[in-house]
Amino acid sequence: MDKQELLQRLNDDKIENLWVTYHDYNGRACAKTVPKSKFKSAVEDGVVFARANLNFGVDDHNAADGIWQAQTGDFLAVPDPAVYWKLPYYENTAIVFCNMMTEDRQPFDGCPRQILARTVSNFAERGITISAALEAEFSLFNKTDDSDYAPCPAGGMFTVAGLNQYADLLHEIVATLDSMGLQVEQLGKEYGPSQFEFTVRYDSPLQAADNYLISKEVTRALALQRGLIASYMPKPFTDLAGNGLHVHMALWDRDSGDNLMTGRGLENPLSEIGRHFMGGLMAHAPGICGLGAPTVNSYKRLQPASWAPAHIAWGVGNRGVLLRVPDVNQRCRVEYRAGDNACNPYFFLTALLAAGLDGVQQRMDPGEPFNDVDVGHFSEQQRLQHGIDYLPRTLPVALDALENDKVLMSALSPVIAQEFLKVKRLELDTYNLTVHPWERQMYLEAI
């Protein structure tokens, strides 16, 4: 669709409210709703937002050292007609995702979508097409009278009993996504009370990120209509499973359509380029954490032997490693398991692909695979014997690793990279300065 076709489509779909949307550095969907009378100008010229919003944390505090402040003007969120959906659960309402432009209509160098598009084009130049699929876990909660959250009582991994509890909601989610043209592959009951997971069919990285982001909003909105919270928080409770965002990536020859990662069976599961791509992901894994697991809470999920990785290792068919090769045949691909839904997926995918490309360019070797062992159960001695490193164990370590990773920092562009770090370090400062309930329970009477 071009802009004219989008305007026609808005008319045909009888849209009265258009949500003009961008995603901030925390991955939050941010929008203004535009009335019909302004559709033409919104679609053609975009909608104005303050640049300062990009230096905001999730608590809406502006990083004091950010380059975008009250006085630094605006960017334009210009709709990309390819990323339009009618929202069937609101009357006459649609949403469109945007690219960010400067006020003089140039691409804005702080734009997350455009940075991912640029990274993907580095593969296209080499005749490589990438497919990506994002597998998101979320948990359902009831808000309690004391403003806390109680996990919904839908228990048991993959149980029909769990599906029974929320069948109406789950079916509505699937039907709604389907009616929006998003091909849900499955929506399953995951671990313990309240956790679910959906997967949407693979696509190009940019479309996969777009599709994931809209699916996330659909699940949240439909849950909310039933008075429930669909939360994507990485680790909502100490003793419940964390919510991961697993990313599957495959490389294809643009001309022949052949999978470029397929090796020669279990003995040699990856092709040469597949091995190098994997090597790049291994080498840059600490910095990738800064983008893929970007909250203090993320590191409470990444615990040894929890199915969410704490070590840097790869293997075939193994859910106990960071990088899993789920299929060694024609659909050979790699699944990165340390990310979570607190990310901005445009940044996260940029980091993953830039890391993989660096591996290919530098012919990096991923080392031995671990196919049959959960490395999270290794003793310290075994870990050292096998030369396995930990992923960052806390957010500050991950942010420092990102800052020290020249490949990732340059893939993000210096502007985004620095401003992202400022936003996240502000969040970290707030956390460090807050007295948490645990501290009172631990110390108040004991000391």
Told to check if 197 binds Mg ion by CB under 5 A, we report yes
> If binding is defined by CB under 6 A, does position 425 make contact with ligand GLU?
no
Pick 137 or 172: Cβ nearer ligand GLU:
137
- Give SS3 for 283: helix
Residue position matching structure tokens 């993000």:
412
Q: Quick one: 112 or 244, whose CB is closer to Mg ion?
A: 244
Burial of 406 (0-12, 13-18, 19+ CB in 10 A): exposed
Contacts of 340 (CB under 8 A, 6+ apart): 232, 234, 242, 243, 244, 245, 292, 293, 295, 298, 301
Burial of residue 138, with CB atoms counted within 10 A of its CB: 0-12 exposed, 13-18 middle, 19 or more buried: buried
- Contacts for 48 with CB less than 8 Å, ≥ 6 apart: 74, 75, 76, 77
Choice from 252, 307, 390, 431 touching ligand GLU (CB under 6 A): 307
Please classify residue 92 by burial: count the beta carbons closer than 10 Å to its beta carbon, then call 0-12 exposed, 13-18 middle and 19+ buried: middle
Using the rule CB under 6 A, which residue among 301, 311, 333, 422 binds ligand GLU? Answer: 301
Residue closer to Mg ion by CB (options 188, 304) is 188
> Which of residues 117 and 342 has its CB atom nearest to Mg ion in the complex?
342
Q: How far is the CB of 197 from Mg ion (least distance, A)?
A: 5
* One-letter identity of residue 118: R
Q: Name which of 42 and 322 has its Cβ closer to ligand GLU.
A: 322
For the record, the structure tokens of 441 come out as: 């329970």
Q: Which two tokens stand for residue 381?
A: 């001695």
- Least distance between ligand GLU and beta carbon 265 (Å): 24
**Cβ closest to Mg ion, residue 97 vs residue 348:** 348
Number of residues that bind ligand GLU (CB under 6 A): 9
Candidates 319, 303, 274; CA nearest to 391 is 303
Contacts of 55 (CB under 8 A, 6+ apart): 62, 63, 66, 67, 68, 69, 419, 422, 423
Question: Which residue stretch of 121-129, 174-182, 240-248, 411-419 sits at the interface with ligand GLU (rule: CB under 6 A)?
Answer: 240-248
Site string for ligand GLU, 308-347 (x = CB under 6 A): x----------x-----------------x----------
Q: Is 137 in the site for ligand GLU (CB under 6 A)?
A: yes
Judged by CB under 5 A, the stretch of 78-86, 196-204, 360-368, 425-433 that binds Mg ion is 196-204
Q: Which of residues 82-121 bind ligand GLU (CB under 6 A)?
A: none
Residues of the shown chain interacting with Mg ion in the complex, contacts defined by CB under 5 A: 197
Residues of the shown chain interacting with ligand GLU in the complex, contacts defined by CB under 6 A: 137, 241-242, 244, 301, 307-308, 319, 337
